[in-house]
Structure 1
Amino acid sequence: MKTEWLLAPAQRTLPALLQRQARLFGARPFLAVPGAEWTHSDAADVAARRAGALSAAGVTQGDRVAVMCSNRAEFLETVLACGWMGAASVPVNSACMGPQIQYLLADSGARLLVIEAAFLERLQTADLAASALESIWVVGGDASAWPATIGPARVHAWPAAGAALPPAAVQPSDTFAILYTSGTTGPSKGVLCPHAQYYWWGVNSADVLGVREDDVLCTTLPLFHINALNTFAQAAIAGCRVHFLERFSASGFWPAMGRTGATVVYLLGAMVPILLAQPAGPGERDHHVRIGLGPGVPEAAGAAFRERTGVLLLEGYGSTETNFVIATAPDSPRRGVMGWLRPGFEARVVDDADNPLPAGEAGELVLRASEAFAFASGYFGQPEKTVEAWRNLWFHTGDRVVRDADGAFRFVDRIKDAIRRRGENISSWEVEQVLMAHPAVASVAVVPVRSELAEDEVLAAVVLREGERVTPAELATFCTARLPRFAVPRFIALLPELPRTENGKVQKYKLRERGVPAGCWDRSAGGTERRAP
């Protein structure tokens, strides 16, 4: 790890990071995102001036500001301005529909929502009465088409930047952002990400990838995820350039890499098989990409990708609550593993009572950091969930892994009842609640099953009420209006009953082990769902 990246503990904050890059890298090209191009010195000025606009709207230190945008300049402006003035941004997944938006706004207590005009109509199915929302800033679109108020909030066009606000005296422990991750037995939880955690995400990711000053980072992943959001921090720390593209396109991926001059890329597990399914073309070799990050990419797919494109993809492990704690390297002795523990972290594989297990035996992965506030501070407004996850002073990941004799960690499966599809965490509980709202449904259990893309797919096992008739296709349509696209079940099985214990609890493990039943309805028949975010 480069010593010049290691800032003093008190300097591990966003304002200090932006001021450092302006001082060290100045007019060097820094960032390109739809709607803007910045130099390194621009970043601090943009943050300060947008913070001035937030302050003029009544936002103060400690407030929360929700932001629901695609990859565009206004998203980054809002997040940086919040960090600059000591407020906390609340990124909202752009696939969220009305019920999820309603929950996130009420749970976070956000006073302001920055939302892209294309998503504004989703608020029509959200009851905002229970939220603390006072104002809505709409990005893009025709202002005359917007209502004056939505629920309790006044609607305004995205305002001009304000007078530059001096940086707040934020501490490394202060909350930088609240990132909502999947609920497993209940609604999604807001992860309290402190400034120092965001700093360490950037440092660790840049170190794993060997980021240099002359690199060009390029990501098509959404900025509301920590994967893409910390790409900004990598470039700010290393003094290089970063391109945030609007979205992933299988056919447009390599042309975009060539056009931007990308040298470092960021992919998710399902994206690699999708790219490999494309016809081979000259663009796969006519590029400058030297390395990529590819967590969750199957070993065979990673090898085929390197053979076709010349790009080595590194595996790694981290979560919104933790950091980049486990990774492979270009010179790792073998592939097909999550990687080896990185400096500054501790890891154990434990049994149900948190007792350490020997190498070769599967158990839950638990983690902790040696640096202050390198992990999340807990779950917003849920102290009992925080204590549960961080019990015995270790963060419990809910992932079952094996530590081999050489120290490498191998992923086995998930302990928690969560599903990960197309790079998105899906709460089975939330999908079940939507299906249970259908008048024909008596009971339902949602579980992950493996897909041909070596990731999770969503299977809903449904029992209908006596005398009711409904088709799987009708249930899928019902879900489409109420769930993000990636969370709508691909497989829907109509069953006479669900497997249960003597106490009546659904035995989901039996459904998981059974997999997709023969003749099960498949929403993606014909390949229409073979997409990535």
Structure 2
Amino acid sequence: MSDTDSQTLFSPEATAACPLLDPETAQRYRDEAHARADRLEQEIPPAARTLPALLAARVQADGDGALVGMDRVTLSAAELADQAARIAGSLRAAGVKAGDRVAIISTNRIEFMPLFCAIGWIGAVVVPINTASRGLQLQHILENSAARLLVLEAEFLANLDTIDRTGLALETVFVLAPDADLELPDGVRPMPAPAEPLPAVEVKPADPLAILYTSGTTGLSKGVICPHEQFFWWAITTGRQLGIRPGDVLHTTLPLFHTNALNCFFQALVFGAAQSLSQRFSVSGFFKALKSSGADVTYLLGAMVPMLLSRPESAEERDHHTRIALAPGVPAQFHDAFLRRTGILLLDAFGSTESNNVIQTEALNPRPGMIGRITKGFDARVVDEFDNEVPDGTAGELLLRADAPNAFAHGYFAMPDKTVESWKNLWLHTGDRVVRAPDGYFRFVDRIKETIRRRGENISSFEVEQGVMSHPAVATAAVFPVASELAEDEVMVAVVLKDGATLSGEELIRHCETRLPYYSVPRYVDFRHDLPRTENGKIQKFKLKEEGITDSTWDREAAGVTLRR
């Protein structure tokens, strides 16, 4: 397939809805995006690829221009830098020094980014914590990071009641913007007022800016050490892919305690754009937010697109001027409908907290169903269990490597054994199974640890989910293993139907058996109103596994439904 043939994957209605699918327009868009990113890469030397230096450069270039906004509050680059310097003064007065870890538990709010920048301003390390963390997970994160200061929103004070603070390095707890009449527990104080501004501490590109904790579904959460320069490269690689222009508005509904939304900020910072924040993702409010923010670019995760498409088609889906979205993990069958209904082109990509945006599709060749080709400055291999490279067309683990120093994370904080395990043989082991095609495009298969083993066959939960979600009545689905009488796994799927849709277990199975290998067709179906999710909409399969088979679960074998092989 040539670079201009990909538009044939879309219907004429979808192609007409998006000027970026015109081959000449797409080629020009790509060329301009690459030239812009390459110029920034040349103009910003390695020593200047730190948060304080990037912010200072933005102030000098366009100090009065908007940099971050939420609701009706917008901060210019100069205002953000001034607030960061003053909050840095109050943090220093509280005893925070370079290298100290400062934890944050907060939803998306305008105060988050000045606080984030202030921590980096004095050479300290930000530890953003998922607002849902409590109990064992929160205890582990605070112990592992040895955070000396915690800043949190008042609504999460109860999270502290679920941990034992004895023995923690935590010395101070500040509440972010508390209500005046809120009675604070002992040892908890309101966030102090900004102090006299401090000059930025000299930090190096390799110095850690943030420790981001990955989900701990297969063990304790691991704190990924993200250096300053890694965020610069996130900005360059993603800005190149999306074609971000000076003056663009980049709207995200994703939480600031994860890498995606933080990287959105750096894209705005480096490319002369502005970040727009929503507090959270809302199916009913998403397109209204695109319009009110004036968004040119937005960010979605795989589960969000079918959720948006499950609603009745409406005029507000086109009442905006958003042109493109970074949308990793969206099943191929949803791209055409989303483009036709919204005019927004979805681009897939592969990146992890440990790596960067290393594999991408582009407007010139979106290729729904593929995660893209390796981008400039990175290398990839697909290997077997012994790290031997496998031929194209063969599934294996994806290994990654960066050309530039500090483009990847530096390992896991205070977990040297896990660091060695993931970075063995000088390659980052992603834990993801992919297939590389002869033309260099990669297709995601599944998380290696999410493979289901049934009747001697390895089953991709991702591929089964795609088969289930291709049914027009299905809004979203999650596939996971449950115990079998034969000491392997049985395939179970939790299904959420579209509003007003009806579907029986047998109807779904009959649909799947024409699209999946017989051994992959689910035995168990559980129709649900919703699925357990993280704050950024990711389905929590471990909770579904814990629930397992319930009284509401439909069993294909108990119902006497025989597959037609």
Q: TM-score range by the shorter chain?
A: 0.7 to 0.9
Task: Give the deviation of 1:74 after TM superposition.
Answer: 2.5
Q: Deviations over 1:41-78 (max 9, x none)?
A: 22222221111111010001000000010001222222
Helix, strand or coil: the match of 1:73? coil
Task: Give the deviation of 1:390 after TM superposition.
Answer: 0.4
State the distance in 2 between where 1:208 and 1:92 align.
28
Alignment partner of 2:478 out of 454, 457, 460: 457
Q: Name the CA shift for 1:498/1:178 in 2 (closer, same or farther; >3 Å).
A: farther
Helix, strand or coil: the match of 2:111? helix
Matches within 5 A, 1:56-455: 56-142=93-179, 144-149=181-186, 154-183=187-216, 185-332=218-365, 334-416=367-449, 450=465, 452=469
Q: Name the CA shift for 1:511/1:381 in 2 (closer, same or farther; >3 Å).
A: farther
Helix, strand or coil: the match of 1:107? helix
State the distance in 1 between where 2:153 and 2:343 align.
38
Structure 1 residue runs without a partner (length 5+)? 420-446, 462-494, 501-506
Q: Deviations over 1:107-134 (max 9, x none)?
A: 1100111111111112112112131111
State the distance in 1 between where 2:39 and 2:77 align.
17
Q: Deviations over 1:474-522 (max 9, x none)?
A: xxxxxxxxxxxxxxxxxxxxx7x8765xxxxxx5698897786537xx5
- Comparing 134-143 with 363-372, greater Cα deviation is found at 134-143
State the distance in 2 between where 1:35 and 1:162 align.
25
- Comparing 71-80 with 369-378, greater Cα deviation is found at 71-80
Q: Deviations over 1:140-169 (max 9, x none)?
A: 3335544442xxxx2111221111111111
State the distance in 2 between where 1:297 and 1:518 align.
24
One-letter amino acid of the structure 1 residue matched with residue 233 of structure 2:
W
Q: Name the CA shift for 1:333/1:21 in 2 (closer, same or farther; >3 Å).
A: closer
State the distance in 2 between where 1:510 and 1:336 align.
23
State the distance in 2 between where 1:341 and 1:394 align.
15
Task: Give the deviation of 1:82 after TM superposition.
Answer: 1.2
Task: Give the deviation of 1:214 after TM superposition.
Answer: 2.6
State the distance in 1 between where 2:197 and 2:451 align.
43
- Comparing 248-257 with 31-40, greater Cα deviation is found at 31-40
Q: Deviations over 1:160-206 (max 9, x none)?
A: 11111111111111100000002354201000000010111111111
The 8 Å contact of residues 245 and 273 in structure 2, kept in 1 or not, is answered as yes
**Across the two proteins, how many residue pairs are aligned to each other?**
459
Task: Give the deviation of 1:319 after TM superposition.
Answer: 0.0
Task: Give the deviation of 1:263 after TM superposition.
Answer: 0.8
TM value normalised by structure 2 = 0.76
State the distance in 1 between where 2:72 and 2:161 align.
27
Alignment partner of 2:528 out of 515, 525, 528: 525
Task: Give the deviation of 1:10 after TM superposition.
Answer: 1.0
Task: Give the deviation of 1:222 after TM superposition.
Answer: 0.6
Helix, strand or coil: the match of 2:80? helix
Matches within 5 A, 1:27-66: 27-33=64-70, 36-66=73-103
State the distance in 2 between where 1:456 and 1:222 align.
23
Helix, strand or coil: the match of 2:114? helix
Q: Deviations over 1:243-278 (max 9, x none)?
A: 111111111111111111111011111111111111
State the distance in 2 between where 1:51 and 1:334 align.
45
RMSD: 2.6
The 8 Å contact of residues 490 and 523 in structure 2, kept in 1 or not, is answered as no
State the distance in 1 between where 2:485 and 2:50 align.
50
Q: Name the CA shift for 1:233/1:458 in 2 (closer, same or farther; >3 Å).
A: same
State the distance in 2 between where 1:247 and 1:264 align.
17
- Comparing 227-236 with 352-361, greater Cα deviation is found at 352-361
State the distance in 2 between where 1:318 and 1:379 align.
17
One-letter amino acid of the structure 1 residue matched with residue 266 of structure 2:
A
Q: Name the CA shift for 1:147/1:242 in 2 (closer, same or farther; >3 Å).
A: closer
Matches within 5 A, 1:465-480: none
Identity, in percent, stands at: 48
Task: Give the deviation of 1:382 after TM superposition.
Answer: 0.7
Alignment partner of 1:5 out of 17, 31, 40: 40
Task: Give the deviation of 1:347 after TM superposition.
Answer: 0.3
The 8 Å contact of residues 269 and 454 in structure 1, kept in 2 or not, is answered as no
One-letter amino acid of the structure 1 residue matched with residue 528 of structure 2:
A
One-letter amino acid of the structure 2 residue matched with residue 207 of structure 1:
R
Q: Name the CA shift for 1:46/1:188 in 2 (closer, same or farther; >3 Å).
A: same
State the distance in 2 between where 1:239 and 1:325 align.
22
